[in-house]
């Protein structure tokens, strides 16, 4: 049998020398999300699209075991898509994205949500509780994962606590694992709430948006009531990192990057580090401002610009000792909630959706799949618009089938593809520069040619 380079071996362009004298180029296997530093001959072989087949698997055993050389006849894309389809169909986790409140106390210029003042009503809460209990008891799942989303979920803090208690009890009775995450603007967080969220509500991760250093953040993330939030948010997170009551609570600090703040990586990273957030329980990342059913053309960066800006942000994070996801940590088999019937989004009015960006967005809220009070509690969510995602990719509806980063991307966003937008993440454009950053972070020095 012959062997050839994997289509998922992404070879860095720069050569690096280690202080020990070893000269290497980095290679990312996107099928496994693992990085290798290989000698220059090996890198050249892996980079050649038409590398002559090698019959000598024994000589190349390390490369074969790493999946960087594969059998010549394999259809790797078909395998990746099939693995995604299986994971979406047979996964042992049941995921609920719950929007307890339609309202948000912020009015960010790039947000496409409408924010009406209501929360998940009592009758809908009972129906959701029953739905979660039935899922937990079904024997079909090993884990129950809840993501609190909004609007601003902490606007309905009492509802979140009440539902968490019942969800955790259901998981405990059924013997399934429970985990929860809150996506919040952070304004309503304080030490008492953080302790309750972590210890009573099973929240292990809190994602907060910080859009720049103080002035830029407070201008971009405007509070409807007026006032500022930057220093308050950082102080609450910093205090939590010192508080033994929440010692297992982690934070994600997202920055929505657009033309308004693209150049502010350095001052923001400096402020985050000065506040004490260069910590193993805090991960930072930049996310592009993108259309959310609204027009953000004046705020969003062009794709190529965003890819370059993202690298600036990574360098700033690194300079200040902040943690950040430079390269994917694992393959992404299930691209998002919308492609599996073991996941559903429950909107504040009780309607159930498959996609997180359909509820609350004026003009898009018609894609609901039923009402939580009317659905059969024993069934997974009804069929949604994107459940055919893996068949669509296999059939070539998008170019993903031929993409070298498909295993770690998964196709990014079925909704955007079908709206005619190209949702490819920056990784597609800057993966080699990220490999360069990886090598320099590991102590290698670029070899100038």
Position 98 contacts ligand SF4 (CB under 6 A):
no
E-state strands within 99-191: 143-148, 177-184
- Residues contacting residue 288 through CB under 8 Å, at least 6 positions apart: 256, 257, 258, 300, 301, 306, 426
Beta strand pairing status for 16-17 and 23-29?
Answer: antiparallel
Do residues 408 and 1 touch, judged by C-beta distance below 8 A? no
Cα 329 to Cα 63: distance, rounded to the nearest angstrom:
20
Position 99 contacts ligand SF4 (CB under 6 A):
no
CA dihedral 329, 331, 337, 339 (to 10 degrees): 170
Q: Which of residues 224-283 bind ligand SF4 (CB under 6 A)?
A: none
Contact flags string 326-345 toward ligand SF4, x per CB under 6 A: ----------xxx-------
Position 398 contacts ligand SF4 (CB under 6 A):
yes
Q: Which of 355, 369, 372, 392 binds ligand SF4 (CB under 6 A)?
A: 355
Give just the sign of the alpha carbon dihedral 305, 308, 314, 315.
negative
Single out the segment in contact with ligand SF4 by CB under 6 A; choices: 70-78, 105-113, 298-306, 395-403: 395-403
The minimum distance between CB 155 and ligand SF4, in angstroms, equals 22
Q: Which is nearer to ligand SF4, 110 or 386 (CB)?
A: 386
Q: Which of 299, 352, 409, 435 binds ligand SF4 (CB under 6 A)?
A: 409
Single out the segment in contact with ligand SF4 by CB under 6 A; choices: 60-68, 125-133, 310-318, 398-406: 398-406
Q: Which of 15, 346, 424, 439 binds ligand SF4 (CB under 6 A)?
A: 424
Do residues 65 and 50 touch, judged by C-beta distance below 8 A? no
The minimum distance between CB 380 and ligand SF4, in angstroms, equals 16
The minimum distance between CB 126 and ligand SF4, in angstroms, equals 26
Position 396 contacts ligand SF4 (CB under 6 A):
no
Position 77 contacts ligand SF4 (CB under 6 A):
no
Among the listed residues 118, 389, 114, 108, the one whose alpha carbon sits nearest the alpha carbon of residue 258: 108
The token pair at 346 is 């429950």
Single out the segment in contact with ligand SF4 by CB under 6 A; choices: 31-39, 177-185, 200-208, 420-428: 420-428
Position 413 contacts ligand SF4 (CB under 6 A):
yes
Cα 351 to Cα 360: distance, rounded to the nearest angstrom:
11
Q: What are phi and psi of 184, to 5 degrees?
A: -140, 155
Residue 426 C-alpha from the chain's centroid: 13
Position 399 contacts ligand SF4 (CB under 6 A):
yes
The 3-state secondary structure of 386-448 reads CCCHHHHHHCCCCHHHHCCCHHHHCCCCHHHHHCCCCCCCCHHHHHHHHHHHHHHHCCCEECC
Beta bridge partners of 352: 346
- Measured from the Cβ of residue 305, the count of other Cβ atoms closer than 10 Å reads 15
Q: Which of 400, 431, 435, 439 binds ligand SF4 (CB under 6 A)?
A: 400
Position 310 contacts ligand SF4 (CB under 6 A):
no
Single out the segment in contact with ligand SF4 by CB under 6 A; choices: 132-140, 156-164, 256-264, 403-411: 403-411
Position 439 contacts ligand SF4 (CB under 6 A):
no
Q: Which is nearer to ligand SF4, 307 or 337 (CB)?
A: 337
Q: Which of residues 152-171 bind ligand SF4 (CB under 6 A)?
A: none
- Residues contacting residue 122 through CB under 8 Å, at least 6 positions apart: none
Q: Which of 150, 331, 348, 411 binds ligand SF4 (CB under 6 A)?
A: 411
- Residues contacting residue 447 through CB under 8 Å, at least 6 positions apart: 14, 15, 16, 17, 23
The minimum distance between CB 217 and ligand SF4, in angstroms, equals 24
| Count, residues near ligand SF4 per rule CB under 6 A | 24
Q: Which is nearer to ligand SF4, 100 or 414 (CB)?
A: 414
Cα 38 to Cα 371: distance, rounded to the nearest angstrom:
54
Residues that bind ligand SF4 (CB under 6 A): 336-338, 355-357, 386, 398-400, 403, 405-406, 409, 411-416, 423-425, 428
């Amino acid at each position: 049998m012959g062997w050839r380079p994997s289509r998922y071996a992404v070879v860095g362009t720069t050569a690096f020398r280690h202080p020990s004298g070893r000269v290497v180029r980095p290679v990312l296997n996107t099928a496994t999300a693992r990085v290798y530093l290989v000698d220059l001959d090996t890198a050249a072989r892996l980079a050649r699209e038409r590398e002559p087949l090698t019959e000598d698997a024994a000589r190349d055993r390390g490369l074969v075991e790493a999946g960087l050389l594969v059998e010549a006849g394999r259809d790797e894309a078909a395998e990746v898509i099939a693995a995604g389809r299986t994971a979406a169909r047979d996964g042992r986790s049941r995921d609920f994205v719950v929007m307890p409140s339609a309202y948000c106390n912020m009015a960010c210029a790039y947000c496409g949500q409408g924010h009406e003042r209501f929360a998940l009503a009592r009758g809908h809460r009972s129906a959701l509780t029953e739905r979660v209990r039935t899922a937990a008891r079904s024997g079909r799942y090993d884990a129950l994962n809840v993501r609190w989303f909004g609007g601003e979920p902490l606007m309905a803090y009492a509802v979140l606590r009440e539902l968490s208690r019942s969800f955790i009890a259901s998981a405990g009775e059924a013997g399934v694992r429970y985990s929860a995450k809150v996506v919040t603007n952070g304004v309503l967080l304080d030490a008492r709430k953080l302790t309750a969220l972590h210890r009573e509500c099973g929240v292990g991760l809190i994602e907060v948006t910080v859009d720049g250093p103080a002035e830029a953040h407070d201008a971009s993330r405007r509070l409807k009531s007026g006032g500022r939030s930057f220093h308050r948010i950082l102080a609450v997170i910093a205090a939590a990192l010192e508080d033994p009551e929440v010692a297992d609570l982690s934070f994600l600090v997202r920055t929505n990057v657009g033309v308004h703040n693209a150049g502010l990586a350095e001052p923001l990273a400096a402020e985050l580090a000065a506040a004490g957030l260069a910590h193993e329980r805090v991960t930072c990342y930049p996310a592009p401002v993108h259309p959310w059913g609204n027009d953000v053309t004046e705020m969003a960066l062009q794709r190529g610009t965003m890819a370059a800006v993202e690298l600036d942000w990574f360098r700033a994070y690194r300079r200040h000792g902040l943690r950040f996801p430079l390269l994917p940590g694992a393959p992404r088999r299930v691209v998002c909630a919308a492609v599996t019937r073991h996941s559903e989004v429950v909107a504040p009015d009780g309607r159930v959706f498959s996609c997180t960006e359909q509820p609350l967005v004026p003009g898009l809220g018609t894609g609901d799949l039923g009402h939580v009070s009317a659905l059969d509690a024993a069934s997974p969510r009804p069929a949604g618009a994107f459940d055919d995602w893996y068949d669509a990719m296999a059939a070539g509806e998008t170019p993903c089938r031929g993409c070298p980063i498909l295993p770690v991307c998964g196709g990014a966003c079925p909704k955007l593809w079908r709206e005619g937008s190209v949702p490819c993440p920056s990784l597609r454009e800057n993966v080699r520069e990220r490999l360069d950053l990886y090598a320099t972070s590991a102590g290698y020095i670029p070899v100038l040619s």
